[in-house]
Amino acid sequence: MKQRCELCFHRCALEEGQTGLCRARINRGGTILPLNYSRVTSLALDPIEKKPLRRFHSGSMILSVGSFGCNLRCPFCQNHEISMAGEGELDTEELLPNDLAALAERLRPRGNIGVAYTYNEPLIGYEYVRDCAVAVRARGMVNVLVSNGTVEEAPWRELLPLIDAANIDLKGFTEGWYRRLGGDLETVKRNIVLAAERCHVEVTTLLVPGENDSEAEISALSRWLSGIDPDIPLHLSRFFPRYRMTDRPPTDVNAVYRLAEVARESLRWVYTGNC
């Protein structure tokens, strides 16, 4: 029986046995299931600044976990080996929520404060994030989400009370650019607003030369963020040619600094990445 996945704005209508655009969710027997539940492709103890979070438990470490799949199609994806993969295409290790939480606790002596859901898009396997987040919080540790912010409102609202901090991509400030990435700007904007009501939020924008790097666009993006809260940190990162976008040079360092100054006209905390 055909079923619609209602987790993200794509709302894939899936035949029996068919997987969605994200390659991580399947219609099995009339139920939409996450194929990547507890299937871990990446696991590392990282400095929290690497997520990036600059104004949340600075100097601490965070156990970072990722699986496979993504619901966007960014041609410059840094993690395309895992984000574009489907089931059976990568080696995975099973790590159930309680085992992940126990591992996070064992890493406390090394400065670990909790778990970050990251590397691929964690929200397409949101059941795993939810179950892990409950187990992690039960051990008095924190949950960090690193996400493109493009799920529907109901699962987002369900998850947010379990999340302590999030870094959400705001990949630009035009619908046209978001459409080219397979995304939806209004969904991300709504989810940033909702997240800022519930947890610590930082935002990242990758500056792609000739696409989203005009002063007017960064000014509009920063003014909009400042309307939520001028204390929301904004990370402006350099683009490097990779995956399917190799037709242009890395973002000019001086352009990043100039755009950071533009953003600082509206926001208190603006950071430059990879400069």
Using CB under 6 A, list all residues that contact ligand SF4: 5, 7-8, 10-12, 20-22, 25, 71, 124
Cβ-closest residue to ligand SF4? 20
Closer to ligand SF4 by Cβ: residue 9 or 177? 9
Distance CA 19, CA 250 (A): 35
Characterize 39-59 residue by residue with b for buried, 16 or more Cβ atoms within 10 angstroms of its Cβ, and e for exposed.
bbbbeeeeebeebbbeebbee
| Residue 205 near residue 234 (C-beta atoms within 8 A) | yes
Distance CA 218, CA 133 (A): 33
CB of 20 to ligand SF4, least distance (A): 2
Closer to ligand SF4 by Cβ: residue 34 or 233? 34
Strands 234-238 and 200-207: what pairing?
parallel
**SS3 of residue 85 by DSSP:** coil
The strand pairing partners of 273, in sequence order, are 237
CB of 36 to ligand SF4, least distance (A): 11
CB of 4 to ligand SF4, least distance (A): 8
Tokens of 207: 């500056």
CB of 195 to ligand SF4, least distance (A): 18
Distance CA 85, CA 83 (A): 6
Closer to ligand SF4 by Cβ: residue 22 or 144? 22
CB of 143 to ligand SF4, least distance (A): 20
Closer to ligand SF4 by Cβ: residue 20 or 233? 20
Closer to ligand SF4 by Cβ: residue 158 or 231? 158
**Encoded amino acid at 198, one letter:** R
